[in-house]
Amino acid sequence: MEQQGKRRVLSGMRPTGRLHLGNYMGALYNWVRLQDEYDCYFFIADWHALTTDYANPGDVHGKSLNVAYDFLATGLDPAKTVIFKQSDVPQHAALHLLFSMITPVPWLERVPTYKDQQEQLREKDLATYGFLGYPLLQSADILLYKPKYVPVGQDQVAHIELTREVARRFNQLYRSATTPEVAAAKSDKELMKAEISENVLEEVVFPEPDALLTPSPKLPGLDGRKMSKSYGNTIGLTEAPDSIRKKLKTMVTDPARVRRTDPGNPDVCPVGDLHKLFSTPETLAKVYDGCRTAGIGCIECKGWAADSLNAHLGPIRDRSADLETRPGLVEDILQDGARRAESVAAASMREAMVAVGLRRA
Ligand code: TRP
Ligand code: SF4
């Protein structure tokens, strides 16, 4: 179904395999809520996996399927949203190549994640062309669909800024040939004349998108640090209720609350953070009161946190169980998504190629 008249939103996620609660709260939770208001495109950025893990990519396809599965389990709905895998739509690679022709290398060297990540992931040898260019691949991912908004976390804002600069540069260098005047001017050297006509000046191939900053609530892992696969402190999105309960028992608490009789403070406790995200106001009030007066023990408090979290994850677990009984469904949805994405991507790519003079309109 086409989403006529709705503004377009696009975002992507790297194929990390099964998702954890941190991945969910940082992105999908918000994406699911955008589906009704916007014409949404959400994709699995599988080429991006190779920009850092080219030496040991593992089963990237399998990991992409896992992520697609979790997209559906959390409530992304293929009837409302186009869900696809980046490498299934060849125009991402093609537009990246075209953009590489016009992008000054210092623009990419200046992207803050470039030097940071190279230093942090020293063992991976990221002095590659692909790693330098990955924010530009992201620009191509975005601009192919000409979205109004790109929902991302704070860590991606520099990439959206680069995307805007690339769009601006492309639009300055090449005008869209979609207006008859420009198409004619390109072929008979009347470009100068066409350029002064106002309606032509308004034509741009790639409108600049805006970041739609995803509120990223603090979601601590079991050890109190940010939840991350590399810290081994995660809670799985479709993990069994008992397993979640057991894990929460090991979660760190307010370090000032050593004995049961010591009062604590939920605002400095990772379990308190979970309550703030997932508990009802009534439970939250009981936590604040009980913790500060030493009226409850941490074991009891963690039990309530497990209840709240399990209630929240119930519908995700149910959809996941349903997906398990329908083999091949995820693959079919990705295939259909790729077809729908490609019809948009191919039109943009054609327009860009005409604009640069690689083909005729
Ligand atoms: N770079 C993003 C990340 O690491 C993933 C991504 C790739 C993306 N292409 C995108 C996000 C396009 C938004 C739009 O999270
Ligand atoms: Fe944390 Fe709850 Fe213990 Fe307070 S009672 S320190 S909020 S686990």
pLDDT of 1 reads 44
Please name the fold of domain 238-321.
Tyrosyl-Transfer RNA Synthetase (1.10.240)
Spell out where the chain has E strands.
Answer: 8-13, 39-44, 81-85, 149-152, 210-213
Query: Alpha helices of 213-327 — where are they, by DSSP H?
Result: 241-249, 270-278, 281-292, 298-324
From the CB of 11, is ligand 1 less than 6 Å away?
yes
Confidence of residue 93 (pLDDT cuts 50, 70, 90): very high
Q: How far is the CA of 212 from the centre of ligand 1 (A)?
A: 13
Q: Which CATH architecture has domain 3-218+326-356?
A: 3-Layer(aba) Sandwich (3.40)
Rounded (5°) CA angle 117-121-127: 75
Task: Give per-residue pLDDT as tens, 118-135.
Answer: 888 888 888 999 999 999
- Among protein residues, the one with the nearest Cα to ligand 2's atom 3 is 298
From the CB of 137, is ligand 1 less than 6 Å away?
no
Do 238-321 and 3-218+326-356 fall under one CATH topology? Answer: no
pLDDT of 121 reads 86
Per residue in 216-233, is it b (16+ CB within 10 Å) or e — as a string? beebbbbebeebeeeeeb
Task: Give per-residue pLDDT as tens, 29-57.
Answer: 999 999 999 999 999 999 999 999 999 99
Q: How far is the CA of 349 from the centre of ligand 1 (A)?
A: 20
pLDDT of 358 reads 97
Task: Give per-residue pLDDT as tens, 165-198.
Answer: 999 999 999 987 655 555 555 555 555 555 545 4
- Among protein residues, the one with the nearest Cα to ligand 2's atom 7 is 266
Q: Position 60: which residue type?
A: V
What is the Cβ-side half-sphere exposure of residue 104, based on CA atoms within 13 angstroms? 5
User: Which residue would you say has higher pLDDT here, 120 or 302?
Assistant: 302
pLDDT of 230 reads 85
How far is it, in rounded angstroms, from Cα 110 to Cα 161? Answer: 12
Break the chain into its structural domains and give their ranges: 3-218+326-356, 238-321
